[in-house]
């Protein structure tokens, strides 16, 4: 079914406003388009592009074209009449638009100094705030993740293993988040993703990243049920990997492995010193009700490891104060102290005068591919297929298209 397009031109400052009817397909971006949350809780963003910027309004079909010489600042407010967007340019033009969502496109697009995908969606979330979602193709997304998650100077086979793990994690998450506004965060909450500007990567380096992604195109890890595996990965396993369920209580188990390559990591060992007062403040910041906030009598007496998993990582930590005690998971205790300080859940706690000394091994949750370990194995001559087999012992390396054909057959 074809949709008629009606155009009307209106000049306002340097703004060229085009009213164009959307097709009946809506904003379809293809099955492999990834929606990445770039910003949250924003009140204003400033857009830059060396070419024109086109802004579309979701519920009216209107398009606004802004010339390349103009910067545009976008803000949002929730009024009695509905969501109100204000677009102000540096030439003095001001446009106010009622509409739920803005779609923005432009080449080499930046928000401030940060390069972002060439297509963006701006969603209002609360009064005066909105989030910015980037839309990017799967393979371009992988190119943006690869050098952000693993140094591009590392061995090719380690980088290939990283790409397959990233593709698998991405597509598995895509399935579970299909109804959400966005699929993935662009931070370590999911995977670090970055758009590199025209001069931010040397041409030979950018070509290398694309070639690595292309050389593994379509390859994914699948679980025993034939679904794409959510292939977690981390920096340094500290000598042994961990089951997903022991980190996130998500019911996932896909095997663990011993790893002698991790001592090459700069994060192989770490230590944190905390006074009792520092720990008390951290606990109250993360879990305000845990230590009876406001009670001057609250004083931490002891912190001890009560239970470990087979990997050696901490399952339960007991904290005692006054005449009370509570048991927390090792991951909750990491959150209290700070994930960047307590780099893993493989730690031991020693009492000190007026405090505690915490020493540990590895960096990250320990599930799936160990990046420093994969570097070690690649340098030893292992192929990326063997590296993936080592870290995901119960998974199969398959072409995604094969999984799709099997799914259709059933």
DSSP letters for 65-96: EE-TT--EEEEEEEETTEEEEEEEETTS-EEE
Of residues 162 and 23, the one with the higher pLDDT is 162
4-18, 79-93, 150-164, 332-346: the lowest-pLDDT one: 4-18
Is the pLDDT at 202 greater than 50, yes or no?
Answer: yes
When pLDDT is cut at 50, 70 and 90, the band that residue 407 belongs to is low
Residue 28: per-residue pLDDT = 33
pLDDT for position 3: 34
Q: Over 197-252, what HEC string results?
A: CCCCCCHHHHHHHHHHHHHCCCEEEECCCCCECCCCEECECCCECECCHHHHCCCC
Query: With 80 as the cut, is the pLDDT of residue 19 above it?
Result: no
Lowest mean pLDDT among 20-34, 76-90, 311-325, 341-355: 20-34
Cα torsion for 221, 226, 228, 229, to the nearest 10°? -70
Q: Would you tell me the crossing angle of helices 156-176 and 371-379 to the nearest 10 degrees? A: 150
CA atoms 204, 205, 206, 212: torsion sign = positive
Tokens of 44: 């204003």
Question: Which residues are 348's β-sheet partners?
Answer: 359
Number of neighbours of residue 245 by Cβ within 10 angstroms: 14
CA 410/CA 408 separation, integer angstroms: 5
Query: Order of strands across the sheet with 355-361?
Result: 269-275, 355-361, 347-352
Q: Which whole number is the average pLDDT over 368-376?
A: 96
Strand partners, 130: 42, 124
Task: Read off the pLDDT of each residue in 97-117 and give the average, rounded to a whole number.
Answer: 90
Q: Give me the chain's average pLDDT, please.
A: 86
**Helices 203-215 and 156-176: angle between axes, nearest 10 degrees:** 60
What integer pLDDT is reported at residue 334 of this predicted model?
96
CB 230 within 8 A of CB 169: yes
**Per-residue pLDDT, 100:** 81
Query: Is the CB of residue 290 less than 8 Å from the CB of residue 332?
Result: no
For residue 383, the model assigns a pLDDT of 98
Rounded to an integer, what distance in angstroms lies between the CA atom of residue 122 and that of residue 137?
A: 18
- When pLDDT is cut at 50, 70 and 90, the band that residue 23 belongs to is very low
**Whole-number Å distance between alpha carbons of 51 and 55:** 13
Pairing, β 396-399 against β 219-222: antiparallel
What average pLDDT does the segment 191-214 reach? 92
CA 199 to chain centre: 24
Closest by CA position to 234, among listed 220, 248, 213, 249: 248
Mean pLDDT throughout 371-392?
A: 97
CA–CA separation, 368 and 126 (whole Å): 37
Higher pLDDT, 342 or 268: 342
- What pLDDT is attached to residue 164? 98
State the pLDDT confidence band at 84, using cuts at 50, 70 and 90.
confident
Residue ranges of domains in the chain = 9-137, 138-264+366-409, 269-361
pLDDT at 71 (0 to 100): 77
CA distances (Å), 33 to each of 137, 168, 171, in order? Answer: 5, 15, 10
pLDDT class of 5 with cuts at 50, 70, 90: very low
Show the tokens assigned to 254.
């896909």
What is the Cβ-side half-sphere exposure of residue 210, based on CA atoms within 13 angstroms?
9
Taking phi over 0 as left and psi of -120 to 50 as alpha, with beta for the rest, 215 belongs to alpha
Residue 1 pLDDT > 50: no
**Mean local confidence (pLDDT), 108-134:** 92
Which residue, among 248, 237, 218, has the nearest Cα to 344 in the 3D structure?
Answer: 237
Determine the 3-state secondary structure of 396 from DSSP. Answer: strand
- Those residues with Cβ within 8 angstroms of residue 119's Cβ, 6 or more apart along the chain or in another chain: 29, 103, 104, 105, 134, 135, 136
Distance, CA of 183 to chain centre: 9
Predicted TM-score (pTM) of the model is 0.86
Mean pLDDT for the stretch of residues 225-250: 95
DSSP, res 264: G
Better-predicted residue by pLDDT, 228 or 82: 228
């Amino acid at each position: 079914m074809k949709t008629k397009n009606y155009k009307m031109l209106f000049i306002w400052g340097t703004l060229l406003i085009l009213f164009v009817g959307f097709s009946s397909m809506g904003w379809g971006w293809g099955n492999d388009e990834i929606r990445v949350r770039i910003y949250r809780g924003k009140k204003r963003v400033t857009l830059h592009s060396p070419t024109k910027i086109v802004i579309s309004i979701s519920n009216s079909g209107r398009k606004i074209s802004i010339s390349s010489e103009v910067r545009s600042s976008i803000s949002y407010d929730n009024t009695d009449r509905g969501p109100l967007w204000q677009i102000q340019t540096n030439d003095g033009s001001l446009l106010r638009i009622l509409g739920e969502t803005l779609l923005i496109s432009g080449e080499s697009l930046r928000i401030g100094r940060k390069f972002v995908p060439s297509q963006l969606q701006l969603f209002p979330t609360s009064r005066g705030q909105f989030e910015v979602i980037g839309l990017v193709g799967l393979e371009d997304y992988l190119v943006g993740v690869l050098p952000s998650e693993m140094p591009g100077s590392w061995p090719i086979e380690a980088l290939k293993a990283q790409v397959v793990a990233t593709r698998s994690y991405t597509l598995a998450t895509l399935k579970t988040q299909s109804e959400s506004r966005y699929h993935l965060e662009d931070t370590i909450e999911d995977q670090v993703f970055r758009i590199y500007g025209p001069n931010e990567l040397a041409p030979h380096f950018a070509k290398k990243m694309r070639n690595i992604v292309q050389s593994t195109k379509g390859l994914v890890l699948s679980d025993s049920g034939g679904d794409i595996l959510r292939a977690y990965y981390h920096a340094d396993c500290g000598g042994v990997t961990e089951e997903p369920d022991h980190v996130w209580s998500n019911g996932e188990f896909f095997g663990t492995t011993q790893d002698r390559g991790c001592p090459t990591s700069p994060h192989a060992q770490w230590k944190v010193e905390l006074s009792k007062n520092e720990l008390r403040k951290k606990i109250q910041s993360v879990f305000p009700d845990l230590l009876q906030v406001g009670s001057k009598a609250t004083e931490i007496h002891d912190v001890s490891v009560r239970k470990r998993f087979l990997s050696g990582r901490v399952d339960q930590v007991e904290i005692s104060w006054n005449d009370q005690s509570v048991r927390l998971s090792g991951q909750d205790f990491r959150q209290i102290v700070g994930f960047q300080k307590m780099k893993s859940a493989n730690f031991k706690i020693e009492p000190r005068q007026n405090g505690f000394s915490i020493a540990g091994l590895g960096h990250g949750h320990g599930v799936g591919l160990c990046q420093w370990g994969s570097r070690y194995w690649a340098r030893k001559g292992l192929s990326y297929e063997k590296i993936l087999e080592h870290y995901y012992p119960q998974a199969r390396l398959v072409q995604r298209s094969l999984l799709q054909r099997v799914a259709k057959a059933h």
